[in-house]
Structure 1
Amino acid sequence: MYEAIVTPFLNRRWMAWGLVTVMVGLLVGSAILPATGAVPLKMLPFDNKNEFQVVVDLPEGAPLEATEAALNDLSEYAATAPEVTEVLSFAGTSSPIDFNGLVRHYYLRREPNRGDLRINLLPKEKRKQQSHEIVLRLRNGFEEIGRKHGARLKIVEVPPGPPVLSTLVAEVYPRADQNYAELRADARHLRRLFETEKAVVDIDDTFEAERDRFIFRIDREKASLNGISAEDIASTLRLALAGWTPGEGSAQTSRAGAAQVPQEINPLYILLHLSPGERSSLADLSRLGVKTPNGKIVPIGELGQFVKEPAEQTIYHKNLRRVAYVFGETAGRPPAEAVLNLQSRLKVEPPPNGAEVSWIGEGEWKITLDVFRDLGLAFGGAVLAIYILLVWQTGSYTMPLVRMISIPLTIIGIMPGFWLLNVFGSGPIGGHPNPVYFTATAMIGMIALAGIADRNAILLIDFIQTVLERGGSLKEALIESGAVRFRPILLTAGAAMLGAWPITLDPVFSGLAWSLIFGLLVSTAFTLLLVPVVYWILYANVKGHGVPVKELDTTTAELLQGTVQS
């Protein structure tokens, strides 16, 4: 069978060149697949964890009760999922900090308008869907509840690799002469682009809601006449609004409001504050009394007045420059594709006030570029090392290239293989795509495959040259090498593919396994056909047929010379 397949290419040179042209076309087409988005790229895939997190942000100024109400509705919805075992709610504070929360600065979340849900899932072996698929399934319900409460949500999954501030992070740097209002307008323009970008979710920025604050202006003359200081008034307001521990602020009385149990390390502090009903309006605060030195109680309203002013906004800096951040996540779309499309849209719709937008700071874009660049260099270095070793072994600069034909053939298997996985092996969940990504682990598999696949061509060519050295003709050597090596090559390739199969069940390293399987499958099949044909094209009319003549005995050299002349 092998002879029947290969012989027509050896007898007709145009068929041989046609095969080479087809292989080159397939290689170019395979390389185009990731560029067109048919094979989605991502630095690392989503891991299958036993938990995920929902970060809730209500508008600044929202009371703690509103945050708790939103968290309760979200908790009730999350509990309807059969895979959910526990829902932990944290209102006005952050949940316990992990590495991802440390990078995302969740420890700074201490305001009443901020909340956090920790959702624990069944163990992996007791559920059918992976944690990312569960998140996609629940996302629409979470977002609907968030809209009802006017809250911004971020559904956070524990990353398998180094965490980032957010998957998509755009840094907006204003010009030196640009004011805060213009910076805000430019950042909001970019945020609108995020909101209209396909499959970009969990959009947020670092601007706070515009709100008012009340400042108590002290009538210093009245306060002085009553013997009341500004500190006395501030302490009274603080006691009413934030609470006060007895003895706080003085080294002599600092332990007055603490109860210490002998067997406990940390003391239990007593916190005094007014009930919400007694401090919910300016009128309530104005009726608060301040004690004068002679024991008289004077209402705060007689010592000054509350003045409404716009609340100050937080101004962020990075590398000594003012900056505003716009964040986003992707749901079923490669982050690189979203960033490239947003960059193209920014060229058409630039920020109205001329702010500079950078994508290489805190998001996944820069890490993805660096990882694939470094892995690409590693792949090139591996190929170069293989070439140098083969040049040293063969003493030729051309023969190693023939032996390395199997390496580009792996790409013809890997990229169309991932495309097929996305066509037949994945489907939308909750209306969101759930693609199979070509990740850094898949790239590592492609690098490892360079040496494995190259071995097949080396075995074929060594056998070809062995047959030539014992006096066989070139055509006989080409056909016999493939026929004899056919079964060992298939068995070793099949063993390697079967060994990689269990790794496909791992969500992080499955890309490595699929690269090995698809690359070995296609490169092995094409190597058995392409290597003899390319060898025939290059060495059919060359003295020795690629075997150094000095290594042949006189009889063999004469036979080969006769074959060339005939």
Structure 2
Amino acid sequence: FPDSERHQIDSLKKVKVQNNQGRLIPLEKVAFYKRERSYSMINRQDLLRVVRVEASVDTDKITSLEVNRRLQKNINIKDQYPDYSVNYGGEQEDAQSSFTDLVISFAFAMGVIFAIFLVYFNSVTTTGVVMGAIPFGIAGVLLGLMLHGKPLSFMSMLAIVALSGSIVANTLILVTFTEELIKKGQDLKEAIINAGAIRLRPVLLTTVTTVIGLLPSAYGIPTVNHFVQPLSLSFAWGLMFATLITLVLCPLLYMMKEDFLAKFKNRHQS
């Protein structure tokens, strides 16, 4: 039907249709019409009717993940309409998919790092000591996000993956230097104390300079970048927390490891 005629009721009335006798008669002879409001389009997905609500976000003021978090907290459609369901798509859907991929990548990276250290040290327990500080880095990230009221976003997860390498580097410095001192003839306790004292300054300086470099973007100086801020904030807090814990935990774990191996060896010999 021509576009010019589609909204003319008289034109529709005169449309010829075939009756049961095979004759063409005007549509108005067998039908009536009335004006009603109706949907111009009905969207369906998986055979279910859907209504899509789309909006753009000013990323200079807030992230889309934060908007969705507030919507989920303040709008309870399920309570008012139990038969309805709400799905959050767009960037949140992409982020959830990316989360899964990132977790798999993180697990793979940890496996590769563990394998490399296992070959290098030829010891499962020493490798465990080196990688033992990683959970504390994750705890530092979660603490920093909680104190600043930030959600665990994709960029925060990315910071955890990157942070793990820096944490392992610090513990690796302490462990390898401790083993070098033991090989030179120092006893276990003396080697651990000397390694901590000698390597304290390099580890702290590396951490402090990294954190200072991250502070402007982490705290929005001079302006807040909501895309980069979660990564910088997570990395800075995770690195600070993990470094402080590592300086105490790593020597402790190494001493516990040596004591355990010594007791196991004595028991096995007896």
The normalised TM-score by structure 2 is 0.72
- CA-CA distance at 1:364 after TM superposition: 3.9
Identify unmatched segments of 5+ residues in structure 2: 1-6, 15-25, 27-31
Counterpart in 2 of 1:522?
241
Task: Give the structure 1 partner of residue 113 of structure 2.
Answer: 386
| 1:325 Cα offset (Å) | 1.0
Asked whether the equivalents of residues 44 and 50 of structure 2 are also in contact (C-alpha less than 8 Å), the reply is: no
Out of 151, 175, 184, the position equivalent to 1:461 is 175
Structure 2 residue corresponding to 1:450, chosen from 140, 148, 164: 164
How far is the alpha carbon of 1:526 from its aligned partner? 0.6
Contact 2:207-2:243 within 8 A present in 1 as well: yes
1:214–1:307 CA contact under 8 A, matched in 2: no
**What secondary structure does 2:35 align onto?**
strand
1:318 Cα deviation after fit: 4.2
Q: Kindly provide the CA deviation profile for residues 332-356 of structure 1, in whole angstroms up to 9, marking residues without a partner as x.
A: 955257448878x7389521xxx7x
Determine if the alignment matches structure 1 residue 335 to structure 2 residue 73: no
**Matches of 2:108 and 2:187, distance apart in 1:** 37
Q: Which runs of 5+ in 1 are unaligned?
A: 1-212, 221-229, 231-305, 423-435, 547-560, 562-566
- AA at the equivalent of 2:95: T
1:480-499 equivalences under 5 Å are 480-499=194-213
- Match of 1:215? 9
Deviations 1:493-544 (A, max 9, x none): 1122222234334332122211221111111111000111112222125349
CA deviations 1:28-55 (Å, max 9, x no partner) are xxxxxxxxxxxxxxxxxxxxxxxxxxxx
Cα distance in 2 between the residues matched to 1:482 and 1:395: 23
Question: Aligned residue for 1:397?
Answer: 124
Q: Deviations over 1:74-127 (max 9, x none)?
A: xxxxxxxxxxxxxxxxxxxxxxxxxxxxxxxxxxxxxxxxxxxxxxxxxxxxxx
User: Greater strand percent: which structure?
Assistant: 1
1 CA distance for matches of 2:191 and 2:80?
Answer: 61
TM-fit CA distance, 1:413:
1.5
- Would the aligned equivalents of 2:177 and 2:195 in 1 still touch at CA under 8 Å? yes
Q: 2:143 aligns with which of 410, 416, 434?
A: 416
The aligned residue for residue 37 of structure 2 is 311
| 1:205-240 Cα shifts (integer Å, max 9, x gaps) | xxxxxxxx99347886xxxxxxxxx9xxxxxxxxxx
In the TM superposition, 1:149-298 aligns within 5 A as 215-216=9-10
Paired AA for residue 443 in structure 1? M
Distance in 1, matches of 2:54 and 2:127, equals 48
Shift of residue 459, structure 1, vs aligned partner: 0.8
Partner of 2:21: none
Match of 2:228 among 504, 509, 520: 509
- Determine if the alignment matches structure 1 residue 359 to structure 2 residue 91: no
Partner of 2:29: none
Where does residue 346 of structure 1 map in the other structure? 78
Q: Distance in 1 between matches of 2:80 and 2:39?
A: 30
- The alpha carbon displacement at 1:420 in A equals 2.0
CA RMSD across the alignment: 3.5
- Residues 389-441 of structure 1 deviation map (CA, whole Å, 9 limit, x = unaligned): 1011111222111101221111121111122223xxxxxxxxxxxxx444322
Give the Cα–Cα distance (whole angstroms) in 1 for the partners of residues 106 and 250 of structure 2. 22
User: Which moved further from structure 2: 491-500 or 385-394?
Assistant: 491-500
For 1:335, give the aligned amino acid.
N
Q: How many Å apart are 1:545 and its aligned residue?
A: 11
Identify which of 135, 155, 175 aligns with 1:441. Answer: 155
2:136 touches 2:245 (CA, 8 Å); kept in 1? Answer: yes
Q: Which has the larger radius of gyration?
A: 1
- Residue 315 of structure 1 contacts residue 322 of structure 1 at CA under 8 Å; is this kept in 2? no
Does the CA contact (< 8 Å) of 2:43 and 2:51 recur in 1?
no
Percent of residue pairs bearing the same amino acid type: 24
Amino acid at match of 1:512: L
Q: Distance in 1 between matches of 2:118 and 2:216?
A: 37
